[in-house]
Amino acid sequence: MIINQSVQPANGHIQVSHVFKNYAGHAALQDISLDIPAGSVTVIIGPSGSGKSTLLRTINHLERVDAGFIQIDDEFIGYRKKGDKLYELKERDILKQRKSVGYVFQNFNLFPHLNVLQNIIEAPLAHKKLSKDQAILKANQLLGLVGLRDKVEAWPKQLSGGQQQRVAIARALALDPKVILFDEPTSALDPELVGEVLNVIKNLAKLGKTMVIVTHEIAFAREVADHVVFMDQGRIVEQGTVQQVLEHPKEERTQNFLSRVL
């Protein structure tokens, strides 16, 4: 009952419709529309400042959109639908919505005053989703999944960057989210630690959860992505399969970007 390792009935269908977001006069997102099928792996690439991370943050309502809508399985992020009216959600309900969306940060953001186990069981206990025993059992299984079963009692500071990120992934999984968002999960890591984190993410792709990954690792994108999105200056320039976007890009900006990073 704790972790279903087999492929789950797919849910976690993300629809982004005409989303706009401004930061102090600068257009971070301009008319973004995106359909991410349940259980798929979508990789977003693009130069710094292209709005990739902002888009990811709006899906978790860490960032409020100025216009447009984001839905996960027909539930509006940040709103409650009643008839043909959308009521803006209060903080408390937004927090509830976030339970179904896991988020992995570039800088891990583990809680330094809590050990690995406490980091992972914090959210399930806060939401009274599991009893303490169940939460601990589940935390151990998740740590097994990310290959850190022996680090249950360790403190974040004692772990390498790669290990910390793997704990952060386990933490994000503890609430059984339908969707997991990865915000440049390997950008803060030393080169030799990147591989272990990417391997964990690759394994997760088999769990059938919807994953959206912002990354600069093009080789990794090629390996895991069902769908690749290229963004530049707050817009989606091109999207499609690995073949379409990475192998045979149509747009000049995509070609330029790929020639620079490959």
Partner 1 sequence: MSLEHYKIVPARHPLRYIGVAFSILIIAVVAESIFSNQNWGWSVFRQWFFDPAILQGLLMTLKLTFWSIVFSLILGTIVAMMRLSSSWLIRSLAWVYIWMFRSLPLLLVLIILYNFSYLYEYINVGVPFTDTVFAQFKTINALDQFSTALVGLVIVQSAYTAEVIRGGILSVDHGQFEAAAALGLSWWRRTTRIILPQSIRSIIPAIINECVGLSKGTSIVYVLAMPELFYTVQMIYNRNQEILAKGERKSAINSFVFFKKAQPHTTQPRIGASYDH
Binding interface with partner 1 (CB under 8 A): 60, 62, 91-92, 95-99, 101-103, 105, 107, 109-113, 115, 122-123, 126-127, 155-157, 171-172, 175
Shortest distance in whole angstroms from residue 244 CB to partner 1: 32
- The residues near 49 (Cβ < 8 Å, ≥ 6 apart) are 233
Shortest distance in whole angstroms from residue 156 CB to partner 1: 7
Angle between helix 132-145 and 161-173 (nearest 10): 130
Question: Contact, 168 vs 162, CB < 8 A?
Answer: no
User: Closest CB to partner 1 among 122 and 226?
Assistant: 122
Residues composing the chain: 262
Shortest distance in whole angstroms from residue 246 CB to partner 1: 29
In three-state secondary structure terms, 152 is: coil
In angstroms, rounded to a whole number, what is the distance separating the alpha carbons of residues 154 and 103? 22
Shortest distance in whole angstroms from residue 57 CB to partner 1: 9
Which secondary-structure segment (H or E) carries 84?
A: none
User: Closest CB to partner 1 among 56 and 194?
Assistant: 56
Question: Contact, 232 vs 200, CB < 8 A?
Answer: no
User: Closest CB to partner 1 among 183 and 238?
Assistant: 183
User: Closest CB to partner 1 among 20 and 155?
Assistant: 155
In three-state secondary structure terms, 73 is: coil
- The residues near 151 (Cβ < 8 Å, ≥ 6 apart) are 116, 143, 159, 163, 167
User: Closest CB to partner 1 among 113 and 260?
Assistant: 113
Shortest distance in whole angstroms from residue 33 CB to partner 1: 24
User: Closest CB to partner 1 among 58 and 239?
Assistant: 58
Shortest distance in whole angstroms from residue 162 CB to partner 1: 18
Per 3-state DSSP, the chain is made up of helix, strand and coil in percentages (nearest 5) of 35, 25, 35
Shortest distance in whole angstroms from residue 167 CB to partner 1: 12
Shortest distance in whole angstroms from residue 232 CB to partner 1: 25
User: Closest CB to partner 1 among 125 and 242?
Assistant: 125
User: How would you classify residue 129: left for phi > 0, otherwise alpha for psi between -120 and 50, otherwise beta?
Assistant: alpha
User: Closest CB to partner 1 among 7 and 95?
Assistant: 95
Taking the alpha carbons at both ends of the chain, their separation in whole angstroms is: 43
* φ and ψ at residue 227, rounded to 5 degrees: -145, 135
